Chain A
Amino acid sequence: MSQNRTPWKSFGRRPQDPEFDREIAFHVDELTRAGIAQGLSPEEARRRAILEFGGREQIKQQIREVHTSPVLETLGFNFRAALRFLRRSPSFSAAVILTLALGIGANSAVFSAIDAVILRPLPYPNGDQLLQINQHDTRNRDANTFVAPQRLEDWNRMSSTFSGISGYYTDDLSEISGPLPEKLTMALVAPRFLDVLEVAPALGRNFTRDEFHFGGPNAVIISYHVWQRRFAGDPAILTKKLHFGDYSDSIIGVMPASFAFPNADIDLWAPSPPDAPYSQRRDATWFTVIGRMKPGVTFAQAQADMATVQARLGQQFPKPDADLTIQSVPLKETVVGDIRDSLWLLYGSVTLLLLIACSNIAALLLARTADREHEISIRFSLGASRRAIIGQLLTEVFSLALLGSLLGLGIAAAATRAFHLLANTLPRASEISLNPSIVLYSLLCAVATTLLCGLVPALRGTRRDLAQSLARSGRTQTSARNPLQWFLVAVQVTLAVTLLTGAGLLLRSLQQLSRVHPGFDPSHVLTFQISGSWGETADMGSLNRRIDSTLDAIRTTPGVLSAATSATLPGVPSLYQVEFNLDGSLDPNRKVLADNRWVSWGYFDTTSIPLLQGEACRRGGPPSDVLVNRAFASLYLGGAALGHNIGAAAYNDFSTKGQIRGVVGDAREAGLNVAPVPTVYSCFSAPTPFPNFLVRTHGDPMAHAETIRRRIHQTDPNRSVYAMMPLEQHLDEAYSGNRLRTILLALFAATAVSLASIGLYGTLNYLGRMRQREVGVRLALGAARSRILTQFLFQGLRVTLIGCIAGLALSLASGRLVAGMLYGVSPVDPETYLAVFVLILAVATGASLLPAWRAARVDPVQVLRQE
Chain B
Amino acid sequence: MAPTEKTDLLQGTLDMLILKIVALGPVHGYGISQRIRQISKAVLNVQQGSLYPALHRLEKRGWLSAEWGDSENGREAKFYKLSAKGRRQLATEEASWNRLSQAVALILDAARQEA
Contacts and interface: CB of A to CB of B under 8 A. Distances in A.
B69 A26 contact: no
A855 B48 CA distance: 68
Given A3-B70, A23-B29, 20 more contacts: A1-B67, A1-B70, A1-B79, A2-B70, A4-B70, A5-B69, A8-B68, A8-B78, A10-B66, A19-B78, A24-B52, A26-B77, A27-B28, A27-B30, A27-B33, A52-B48, A59-B49, A59-B52, A59-B53, A63-B52
A533 to B, nearest CB: 75
Contacts of B70: 1-4
Interface in A1-54: 1-8, 10-11, 15, 19-20, 22-24, 26-27, 29-31, 33, 52-54
B53 A62 contact: yes
A20 to B, nearest CB: 8
Interface in B52-75: 52-53, 56-57, 59-60, 62, 66-71, 73, 75
Contacts of B56: 10, 15, 63, 66-67
Contacts of B75: 26, 29
A238 B75 CA distance: 76
A4 B79 CA distance: 12
14 contacts: A1-B70, A2-B70, A5-B68, A8-B67, A10-B59, A20-B52, A22-B78, A26-B28, A26-B30, A26-B76, A26-B78, A27-B48, A54-B47, A67-B60
Contacts of A63: 52-53, 56
Contacts of B68: 1, 4-6, 8
A53 B48 contact: yes
B10 to A, nearest CB: 19
Contact of A27 (B29, B62, B66): B29
Given A27-B30, A53-B48, A4 B53 contact: no
Given A1-B69, A4-B70, A23 B78 contact: yes
Nearest to A13: B60
Contacts of B26: 1
B32 to A, nearest CB: 10
A431 B67 CA distance: 54
A81 to B, nearest CB: 28
B72 to A, nearest CB: 10
Interface in B6-64: 26, 28-30, 33, 47-49, 52-53, 56-57, 59-60, 62
A11 B28 contact: no
A215 interface: no
A11 B48 CA distance: 22
A52 B37 CA distance: 14
Contacts of B79: 1
Contacts of A30: 30, 71
Interface of chain B: mostly helix, strand, loop or mixed: mixed
Given A54-B48, A59-B48, A66 B57 contact: yes
Interface string A597-629: 000000000000000000000000000000000
Q: Which 3 A-B pairs have the closest CB atoms?
A: A1-B69, A62-B53, A6-B68
A11 B60 contact: yes
B76 to A, nearest CB: 6
Contacts of B77: 23, 26
Interface in A48-93: 52-55, 58-59, 62-63, 65-67
A66 B53 contact: yes
Given A26-B28, A53-B48, A54-B49, A7 B67 contact: yes
A448 B77 CA distance: 52
Contacts of A67: 56, 60
Given A8-B78, A10-B59, A54-B47, A26 B71 contact: yes
A511 B67 CA distance: 81
Interface of B: 26, 28-30, 33, 47-49, 52-53, 56-57, 59-60, 62, 66-71, 73, 75-79
A5 B76 contact: no
A54 B45 CA distance: 13
A20 B79 CA distance: 13
A683 B73 CA distance: 113
Nearest to B75: A26
A345 B61 CA distance: 53
Q: In the complex, which of the residues A6, A10, A26 has the most CB atoms of chain B within 10 Å of its own CB atom?
A: A26
B60 A10 contact: yes
Contacts of A66: 53, 56-57, 60
A228 B52 CA distance: 70
B68 to A, nearest CB: 4
Contacts of B33: 27
* Interface hub of B56, B62, B66, B76 (most chain A Cβ within 10 A): B56
A31 B49 CA distance: 15
A738 to B, nearest CB: 63
A58 B51 CA distance: 12
A31 B30 contact: yes
Contacts of B66: 8, 10
Nearest to B54: A66
A55 B49 contact: yes
Nearest to B70: A1
Contacts of B28: 23, 26-27
B79 to A, nearest CB: 6
A670 to B, nearest CB: 74
Nearest to A65: B53
Contacts of B47: 54
Contacts of B30: 26-27, 30-31
Contacts of B78: 8, 19, 22-23, 26
Interface string A714-754: 00000000000000000000000000000000000000000
A36 B47 CA distance: 21
A26 B78 CA distance: 9
B102 to A, nearest CB: 33
A58 B48 CA distance: 11
Given A10-B60, A26-B30, A63-B56, A4 B69 contact: yes
Contacts of A2: 69-70
A5 B62 CA distance: 19
B31 to A, nearest CB: 8
A167 B110 CA distance: 90
Nearest to A1: B69
Given A1-B70, A66-B57, A23 B62 contact: no
A6 B79 CA distance: 11
A55 B78 CA distance: 20
Contacts of B57: 66
A202 B26 CA distance: 61
A59 B33 CA distance: 15
B83 to A, nearest CB: 11
A14 to B, nearest CB: 11
B62 A11 contact: yes
A55 B53 CA distance: 12
Nearest to A58: B49
A23 B66 CA distance: 12
B11 to A, nearest CB: 16
Interface string A274-295: 0000000000000000000000
A26 B33 CA distance: 13
A30 B33 CA distance: 11
Contacts of B53: 59, 62-63, 65-66
Interface in A142-194: none
A13 B91 CA distance: 28
Interface string A181-211: 0000000000000000000000000000000
Contacts of B69: 1-5
A19 B68 CA distance: 10
B37 to A, nearest CB: 11
Contacts of A52: 48
A10 B71 CA distance: 21
Contacts of A26: 28-30, 71, 75-78
A23 B52 contact: yes
A829 B79 CA distance: 84
A29 B29 CA distance: 12
A33 B31 CA distance: 13
